[in-house]
Structure 1
Amino acid sequence: MQQQTSNQATRRGPLAGVKVLEFAGIGPGPFCGMLLADMGAEVILLERAGGTFASQLFGGGRKAVANRGKQSLCIDLKHPDSKALVNRLIGQVDVLIEGYRPGVMERLGFGPADCLAVNPRLVYGRMTGWGQHGPLAQRAGHDANYAAISGALDTGRRHGGAPWAPPTLVGDMGGGGLLLAWGIACALFEAQRSGQGQVIDAAMCEGAALLAHGLFNLNAIGAWDGRCALDTSAPFYDVYPCADGEWLTVCPLEPQFYAAFVERLGLAGDPDFAGQQYDTARWPAQKARLTELFGTRERAYWLEVFADTDDCVWPVLSMDEAPQHPHNRARDSFVEVAGIVQPAPAPKLSRTPGQVQGEPPLQGEHSRAQLLALGLSPAEVDGLAAAGVIRCAG
């Protein structure tokens, strides 16, 4: 695992030279900004004094992983002198990211029409749960709500059990921030040819549905009906507890992997396992046998049994264990930034790889530098700080 702290002035990556203005928010918006920063974009985080709910939930300052590589500019958007300042910024950036409810940016005077009038090439990224229009557009919600409406959350249930999914992954991060980053990349590519910006309406509920496209495919052909190999009905696609309370994932879907799996466990001649792999009538008995068997020994024992095989048996690692796994260490899949172990930038590019461009900033840490770069004089910056328009860290 590497420790990464880069110089903000020497950004590297495929998006080096792209400038982004991110209106501070929570969840998918900051994640989108982090993805762009990891790939070399200069992301100016427009923060408001006092922080956001995100800073309360995830920690602020150097602990805010989603803010790594960004520069913090703290401006009071309600101050009458702030609009001209923000418009100067908008005129110099390539991308804007906001995650407010529909209509909020318009009321602040920074809606798409206002901003595109200032900068016609601007890619304007909007991140909401329900989208900019529709019956739910003005309603509150969170990750599981968006995943629920999309149909994706229901697929996360264990067979016969309650539906759930890992928190924030399906709606917020995958269906939200990741899809917004993809839309921004597409719009930036198109703007190079047309010279025109555009507005991206990214809705987490739609992104969550898109992530579940393969499951909708299975449903359409009648294969998502409680006898599907992927919904934990099958004994060969599930998790099993070991004697020490640790867990294994068991996923030998393909016939050749399943045959090797059964052979490795000494069950090839067992009557419960005789016959076809997809004989669903046998699945309950097979699952009971596997649960009993895996529960007799510790996880380390079973990992040794399945070492160097294609039986698709792997440990369920905790967030503390994952960075130490030999595979993750070999690929530098995790990095340490400001004392916090966190996932490294991904995916890996061969010629212009992304990297963590710097530590998460303190609120207002770059206010002075950013405004001086805009062309303001030191005296003007001091005046804005004294008037409460901006806040500078330290």
Structure 2
Amino acid sequence: MALKGIKVIEFQGLAPGPFCGAILADFGASVTVISKLDPVPYDVFTNGKRIIAVDMKTKEGVNIIKKMCSSADVLLDTFRPGVMEKLDLGPNSLTKINSGLIYARLTGFGQSGLYKDKAGHDINYEAMSGVLSLLGRNGEPPVPPLNILADFAGGSMLCAFGILLALYERTKSGKGQIVDCAMTDGLTYLSSWIFRSRPLPLWEGEPGSNLLDGGYAAYRTYKTKDGKFMAVGALEPKFYLNFLKGLQLSPENYEQFDIGNHKKFADIFLTKTQAEWCQIFDDLDACVTPVLEINSMMEHKYHKSKQNKLKSNNNTIIPEPQPSLSRTPGVSVGRESPTMPGQHTIHILKELGYSKVQIEELLKKGIVYANRKSNL
């Protein structure tokens, strides 16, 4: 696997940090999570990672972490700016003992600027990036697409990309560096095409009335007879002609960019079920597809033909790592059992050279937590 041999230390946080660590683990990195004694709830990305529970507010706990970082390649900091410095675990401290360490910092507003110390969530970072303002319609309040854009696209993915860039550069310089990934700035960068295309006539109207945001009748979703939906993306003339063919409409009567077409298209889609429309458009190159429901998407022939997703033991869909590599593909660590808090504490301490007596003392003092003392 592409990242085999790379050691990652991940400080447990909410969704963006754990997914960044999961991306690295999916492609072969060995990821060890440092959790507090009271671990973060709802971390669904523990699979395939090791976890040690440490009291980071104690000198002994900090020393354990420093020992771990001395041989690590990457550290993933998910705390607000300044927290790691207060613990004596900031980049200035850790790079003294490991000059090759890639110190990745994943936060909402970054390590500098007016908002660096402010709390926030995906919706706030989307709002500050300018992108959320485009996700409304008819003067209604904009609605974020769950927490995908800032948390995972502008955050996890770009942070992982920054780590890979730093690892590659290290092969030349031998030195590590700090990766400052701000989810707000990451989402802004991710939206570069939108910003650069603003002068074009694509964005002349209010949100929800333009070519790509639902204003164009041939680029939106439509409800079907059985209460499901079809997605239409017939932008180019050749696709639009095939789209009209599927609806049994004449091109002479339905000019491509006439906003008034929407009602007619909507009425026609209500006359057939989603399955019936799929049967029609499967034979037409019209950029029309069903809106698959997340709980049943695996039953669709596209996903069956690709075989690029799997189900875990509790029947949860675990997507396969992307992109696909021809020689060193990723393998989802999500197929492994979830890792429990403190599950690898004793094993990791042994690796660091702690004796049985020392480990017993750390457990007794509450410096570390282990849920499997039998490993001692």
Give the TM-score of the pair, scaled to structure 2. 0.93
Determine whether 1:69 maps to 2:57: no
Q: What pairs up with 1:96-245 in 2 under 5 angstroms?
A: 96-158=75-137, 160-226=139-205, 228-245=210-227
Residues 53-79 of structure 1 deviation map (CA, whole Å, 9 limit, x = unaligned):
xx1xx3xxxxx4322211111111112
Match of 1:324 among 291, 294, 299: 299
> Given that residues 246 and 284 in structure 2 are in contact (C-alpha distance below 8 angstroms), is that contact kept between their aligned partners in structure 1?
no
Give the superposition deviation at 1:159: 5.5
Distance in 1 between residues matched to 2:244 and 2:217, nearest whole Å: 11
Matched letter for residue 118 of structure 2:
R
Q: What pairs up with 1:233-272 in 2 under 5 angstroms?
A: 233-269=215-251, 271=253
* Pairs aligned (count): 366
Distance in 2 between residues matched to 1:188 and 1:228, nearest whole Å: 42
The DSSP-based 3-state class of the residue aligned with 2:215 is: coil
Residues 255-285 of structure 1 deviation map (CA, whole Å, 9 limit, x = unaligned):
11111111221112563x0x4x23xxx21x2
The DSSP-based 3-state class of the residue aligned with 1:22 is: strand
Structure 2 match to 1:370: 348
> Given that residues 107 and 181 in structure 2 are in contact (C-alpha distance below 8 angstroms), is that contact kept between their aligned partners in structure 1?
yes
Structure 1 residues 92, 338: CA separation in 2 closer, same or farther (over 3 Å shift)? farther
Q: What percent identity do the matched residue pairs reach?
A: 35
The DSSP-based 3-state class of the residue aligned with 1:220 is: coil
> Given that residues 132 and 144 in structure 2 are in contact (C-alpha distance below 8 angstroms), is that contact kept between their aligned partners in structure 1?
yes
Distance in 2 between residues matched to 1:354 and 1:16, nearest whole Å: 10
Matched letter for residue 236 of structure 1:
A
Structure 2 match to 1:351: 327
Structure 1 residues 330, 379: CA separation in 2 closer, same or farther (over 3 Å shift)? farther
Give the superposition deviation at 1:375: 2.0
- Relative contact order (alpha carbons < 8 A, sep ≥ 6): 1 or 2 greater? 1
Distance in 2 between residues matched to 1:32 and 1:72, nearest whole Å: 16
Q: Which runs of 5+ in 2 are unaligned?
A: none
Distance in 2 between residues matched to 1:222 and 1:234, nearest whole Å: 13
Residues 158-204 of structure 1 deviation map (CA, whole Å, 9 limit, x = unaligned):
35443222111111000011110000000001111101110011000
Determine whether 1:26 maps to 2:10: no
Matched letter for residue 286 of structure 2:
D
Structure 2 match to 1:342: 318
Give the superposition deviation at 1:373: 1.5
> Given that residues 159 and 233 in structure 1 are in contact (C-alpha distance below 8 angstroms), is that contact kept between their aligned partners in structure 2?
no
> Given that residues 244 and 251 in structure 2 are in contact (C-alpha distance below 8 angstroms), is that contact kept between their aligned partners in structure 1?
no
| Segment drifting more, 103-112 vs 375-384 | 375-384
Matched letter for residue 275 of structure 2:
A
Give the superposed CA RMSD: 1.5
Structure 2 match to 1:297: 272
Distance in 1 between residues matched to 2:98 and 2:47, nearest whole Å: 27
Determine whether 1:313 maps to 2:288: yes
Structure 2 match to 1:35: 23
Residues 101-126 of structure 1 deviation map (CA, whole Å, 9 limit, x = unaligned):
11111111111101111111000000
Give the TM-score of the pair, scaled to structure 1. 0.89
The DSSP-based 3-state class of the residue aligned with 2:327 is: coil
Distance in 2 between residues matched to 1:118 and 1:303, nearest whole Å: 60
Distance in 2 between residues matched to 1:296 and 1:221, nearest whole Å: 36
